[in-house]
């Protein structure tokens, strides 16, 4: 009963306290694909992603009902750091959905104009002024937003003293940006201004990226369910083992957010409700003390023992890597180790693929490149003397035969293709009851090889996975020189999921190999299942920027990189990596084995 009444009361009071317009709510996710190019076009840093922002605590003057409901304490505001641009997950500030959409675009434009904030109050005004001057089309829109904004603010009549002065200054700064130089001081924080960009939080979390001991096993399910908005992070120094005296005001109860020096390492069942617990937190405190909360030991990321591992070929190649922060190449940073599965036994095409393989072979064998002379053409380089003699000797038969020329067959293709498959650990994930992602990738490689061997286009197949920069494992499955035979088929069937995805190094090595081919068109086909990542700093923007650099290098060398991915979120980052036309997202993975050969035909401009 108590609970029931409490719930009703909560609902009632939160509804009373609500200032949002639920019907006009606009979500970031739906606008994100538009905001990203908009941001880039307006001069925002092109590598920056767009993410949901965390809620921040603002100590505002709340109305009684708001205080009772416990709302209006935390607000999501727009801010950016060097990694990404953060927006509230959804905006329902204005009663009109169109206005809320406009607000997103306005914030994007302002953020592009204001990459760094020194003085929040002044910088926002000057940036607004600059933006409106540069792009006069924004003036009416800004006016509309500003007018609506003033209406949403607390009325000046209701305020007194310092509060009133401050609110006046804010409203004036929005109405006529650039006219107010200082914000009058008043108690508490002003109610957040949704039209402005806020500075990044002070206590940002700096992860030490070169940490060797990072324990990153497979994430718990509950972790993955967290929605995209981020939490403020705070790092505490808990190296001191003495239990200090806790000082707190008695009227506040302990909430989840307080850091308690309590060793919970043994409570393993705590993670059941991690996601809802995390939702309730303002701040997630991270401890630097490295004691795994869980007793599970993860063996799977260890490298296999040498006798069980594939045969390493040579001492490996040292490859550079791009550090976007320093904007330079780190020479010889990655050690790429070519590997050969020498114990894989030769085997024929597996039973379940036999039919598909046969039909693909048949279809593709029609595409064999044969440069023939076409006789009796209407146009051509040479005169077809036979046709000419025919016309001359039998004028009654072909009286207006004009087909007197020889032409060379234009339909020839001069093409080499290197297929680079991502064999990272994530491919071990189950796809359905019978198949894992790796199984589909394996089938795809087999069928692709069957099809290409029928065309006699030179091709090679490599796979890769990595364990940090020290071992980028580059699996040789078929090189350009060797014929496609059961030995290769055996190797293809023996591929197993590896470790992480250091894509840049693998692309660089593949470019080196493909570059040596003499063909006119050189296709670098990358088969992937997600973003580049590794357990060191190679994740997020770093990995993306390095991969992009490697792709650009490949393009500069005259290769044609193309990525086929099964990552449905690929649309977010793939245009940045491979360009607008440089990738394909395949939603139904089971169709990949059939789609890839088709895609090959499209890419090479041949029609089967």
Partner 1 sequence: MHKSLKEDDTMSNNAYLSQGREVEIFKTAAENNLPVLIKGPTGCGKTRFVEHMAEQLHRPIHTVACHDDLTAADLVGRHLIGAEGTYWQDGPLTRAVREGGICYLDEVVEARKDTTVVLHPLSDHRRILPIERTGELIQAHPDFMLVISYNPGYQNLMKGLKPSTRQRFVALSFDYPAPDREVVILCQESGIDKQQAQQLVSLGGDLRRLKDHDLEEAASTRLLIYAARMINAGLPAREACTTCLAQPLTDEVETLAAIERLIQAYF
Binding to partner 1 by residue 436, rule CB under 8 A? Answer: no
Residue 458 lies near partner 1 (rule: CB under 8 A):
no
Q: What is the rounded CA–CA span in Å between residue 421 and residue 464?
A: 6
The answer to whether 238 contacts partner 1 (rule: CB under 8 A) is: no
At its nearest, how many Å lie between partner 1 and the CB of residue 569? Answer: 14
Which is nearer to partner 1, 79 or 562 (by Cβ)? 562
C-alpha 269, offset from chain centre: 32
Does residue 35 touch partner 1 according to CB under 8 A?
Answer: yes
Give the C-alpha separation, 140 to 151, whole Å: 17
- Residues in Cβ contact with 557 at an 8 Å cutoff, skipping those fewer than 6 apart: 511, 515
- Tell me: does residue 335 bind partner 1 (CB under 8 A): no
**Region 338-367 residues binding partner 1, contact defined as CB under 8 A:** none
Looking up tokens 């498959």 gives: 421
State the nearest-atom distance from the C-beta of 141 to partner 1, in Å.
Answer: 7
Residue 146: which region, alpha, beta or left (left: phi > 0; alpha: psi -120 to 50)? alpha
* Residue 352 Cβ vs partner 1, minimum distance, rounded to whole Å: 36
| Among residues 6, 33, 188, 395, the one that binds partner 1 under rule CB under 8 A | 33
Least separation, in Å, of the C-beta of 503 and partner 1?
A: 17
**Best CA proximity match to 497, nearest among 233, 226, 301, 285:** 301
> Judged by CB under 8 A, which of 16, 19, 46, 276 binds partner 1?
46
Residue 555 is a binding residue for partner 1 (CB under 8 A): yes
| Piece of the chain touching partner 1 by CB under 8 A; list 14-22, 159-167, 493-501, 515-523 | 515-523
**Which listed residue (520, 569, 590, 608) binds partner 1 by CB under 8 A?**
520
Q: Which residues pair with 585 in a beta bridge?
A: 565
- Per CB under 8 A, does 372 bind partner 1? no
Q: Report, in Å, the least distance between residue 322 CB and partner 1.
A: 15
Q: How far is the CB of 520 from partner 1 (least distance, A)?
A: 7
Name the minimum Å distance from CB 105 to partner 1. Answer: 5
Between 32 and 466, name the residue whose CB sits nearer to partner 1: 32
Measure Cα distances from 482 to 301, 453, 478, 562, 607 in Å.
Answer: 32, 11, 7, 24, 27
| Number of CB atoms found within 10 A of residue 309's CB | 13
Select from 576, 592, 593, 604 the one that contacts partner 1 (CB under 8 A).
Answer: 576
Pick from 439, 457, 446: nearest CA to 603: 457
In this structure, is the dihedral angle defined by the CA atoms of residues 204, 210, 215 and 217, taken in order, positive or negative? positive
**DSSP-assigned letters across all residues of 173-221:** HHHSTTS--SPPP-SSPPPP-TTSEEPPPSS-----TT-S-----SPPH
- 334 counts as binding partner 1 under rule CB under 8 A: no
Facing residues of 421 across strands? 463, 527
Q: Tokens 């692309």 — which residue?
A: 507
By beta-carbon proximity to partner 1, the closer residue of 12 and 139 is 139
Buried b (16+ CB within 10 A) or exposed e, 568-585: eebeebbbbbbbeebbbe
Q: CA-CA distance, 264 to 375, in Å (whole number)? A: 85
Residue from 5, 23, 118, 137 binding partner 1 (CB under 8 A): 137
Residue (of 497, 427, 510, 428) closest to 461 by Cα position: 510
How open is the CA angle 579-583-589, to the nearest 5 degrees?
A: 155
- H or E element that contains 318: strand 317-323
By CB under 8 A, residue 562 contacts partner 1: no
Q: Which of 579, 585, 595, 599 binds partner 1 (CB under 8 A)?
A: 579
Other CB atoms within 10 A of residue 423 CB: 28
Q: Does 40 bind partner 1 (CB under 8 A)?
A: yes
Among 141, 214, 238, 323, binds partner 1 (CB under 8 A): 141
Exposure of 607 in the CB half-sphere (CA atoms within 13 A): 1
Interface with partner 1 (CB under 8 A), residue total: 40
CB of residue 136 vs partner 1: minimum separation in angstroms? 7
**Three-state secondary structure call for residue 302:** coil
Per-residue interface string for the shown chain with partner 1, residues 378-417, x marking contact by CB under 8 A: ---xxx----x---------------x---x-x-------
Interface region with partner 1, contact rule CB under 8 A, candidates 51-59, 135-143, 282-290, 499-507: 135-143
- Residue 462 has which token pair? 């490599």
Is 234 a binder of partner 1 (CB under 8 A)?
no
> Binding mask 105-134 vs partner 1 (x if CB under 8 A, - otherwise)?
x---x------------------------x
Q: Does 327 bind partner 1 (CB under 8 A)?
A: no
* Best CA proximity match to 408, nearest among 367, 365, 379, 388: 379
Task: For helices 138-152 and 161-175, give the axis angle rounded to 10 degrees.
Answer: 160
Residue 266 binds to partner 1 (criterion: CB under 8 A) = no
Q: Do the strands 373-377 and 405-408 form a parallel or antiparallel pair, or are they unpaired?
A: antiparallel
Beta carbon of residue 82, minimum distance to partner 1 (angstroms, whole number): 18
**Closer CB to partner 1, residue 283 or residue 552?**
552
Binds partner 1 (CB under 8 A): choice among 8, 12, 41, 313: 41
Q: Which residues bind partner 1 (CB under 8 A)?
A: 33-38, 40-43, 46, 105, 109, 134-138, 141, 381-383, 388, 404, 408, 410, 520-522, 552, 555-556, 558-560, 575-576, 579-581
């Amino acid at each position: 009963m108590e609970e029931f009444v409490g719930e009703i009361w909560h609902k009632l009071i939160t509804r009373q306290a609500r200032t949002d317009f639920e019907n006009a709510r606009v979500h970031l996710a739906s606008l994100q694909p538009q905001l990203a190019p908009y941001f880039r076009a307006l001069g925002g840093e092109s590598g920056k992603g767009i993410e949901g922002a965390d809620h921040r605590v603002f100590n505002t003057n709340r109305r009684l009902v708001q205080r009772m409901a416990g709302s209006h304490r935390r607000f999501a505001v727009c801010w950016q750091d060097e990694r990404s641009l953060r927006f509230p997950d959804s905006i329902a500030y204005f009663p009109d959905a169109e206005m809320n959409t406009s607000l997103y675009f306005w914030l994007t434009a302002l953020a592009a104009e204001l990459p760094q904030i020194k003085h929040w109050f002044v910088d926002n005004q000057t940036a607004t002024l600059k933006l409106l001057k540069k792009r006069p089309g924004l003036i009416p829109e800004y006016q509309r937003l500003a007018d609506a904004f003033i209406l949403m603010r607390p009325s000046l009549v209701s305020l007194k003293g310092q509060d009133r002065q401050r609110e006046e200054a804010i409203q004036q700064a929005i109405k006529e940006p650039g006219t107010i130089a200082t914000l009058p001081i008043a108690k508490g924080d002003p109610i957040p201004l949704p039209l402005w960009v806020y500075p990044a939080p002070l206590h940002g979390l700096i992860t030490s990226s070169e940490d060797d001991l990072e324990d990153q096993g497979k994430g718990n399910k509950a972790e993955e369910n967290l929605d995209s908005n981020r939490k403020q992070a705070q790092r505490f120094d808990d190296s001191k083992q003495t239990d200090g005296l806790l000082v707190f005001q008695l009227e506040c109860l302990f909430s989840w957010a307080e850091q308690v020096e309590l060793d919970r390492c043994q409570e393993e069942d705590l993670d059941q409700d991690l996601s809802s617990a995390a939702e309730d937190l303002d701040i997630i405190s991270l401890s630097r003390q490295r004691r795994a909360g869980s007793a599970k030991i993860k063996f799977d990321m260890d490298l296999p023992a040498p006798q069980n591992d594939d045969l390493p070929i040579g001492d490996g190649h040292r490859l550079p890597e791009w550090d976007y922060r320093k904007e330079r190449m780190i020479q010889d940073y990655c050690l790429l180790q070519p590997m050969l599965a020498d114990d894989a036994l030769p085997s024929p095409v597996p039973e379940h693929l036999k039919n598909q393989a046969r039909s693909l072979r048949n279809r593709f064998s029609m595409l064999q490149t044969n440069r023939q002379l076409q006789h009796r053409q209407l146009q051509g380089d040479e005169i077809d003397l036979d046709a000419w003699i025919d016309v001359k000797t039998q004028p009654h038969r072909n009286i207006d035969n004009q087909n007197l020329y020889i032409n060379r067959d234009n339909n020839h293709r001069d093409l080499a293709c290197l297929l680079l498959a991502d064999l990272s650990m994530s491919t071990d994930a189950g796809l359905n009851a019978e198949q894992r992602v790796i199984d589909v990738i394996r089938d795809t490689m087999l069928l692709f090889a069957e099809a290409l061997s029928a065309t006699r286009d030179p091709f090679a197949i490599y796979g890769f996975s990595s364990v940090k920069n020290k071992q980028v494992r580059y699996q040789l499955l078929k090189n350009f020189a060797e014929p496609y035979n059961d030995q290769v088929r055996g190797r293809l069937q023996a591929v197993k999921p590896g470790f992480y995805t250091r894509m840049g190094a693998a692309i660089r090595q593949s470019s080196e190999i493909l570059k040596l081919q003499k063909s006119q068109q050189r296709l670098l086909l990358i088969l992937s299942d997600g973003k580049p990542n590794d357990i060191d700093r190679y994740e997020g923007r770093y990995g993306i920027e390095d991969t992009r650099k490697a792709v650009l290098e490949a393009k500069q060398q005259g290769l044609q990189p193309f990525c086929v991915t099964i990552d449905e979120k690929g649309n977010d980052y793939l245009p940045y990596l491979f360009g607008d036309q440089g990738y394909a997202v395949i939603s139904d993975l089971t169709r990949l084995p059939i789609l890839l050969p088709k895609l090959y035909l499209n890419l090479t401009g041949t029609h089967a």
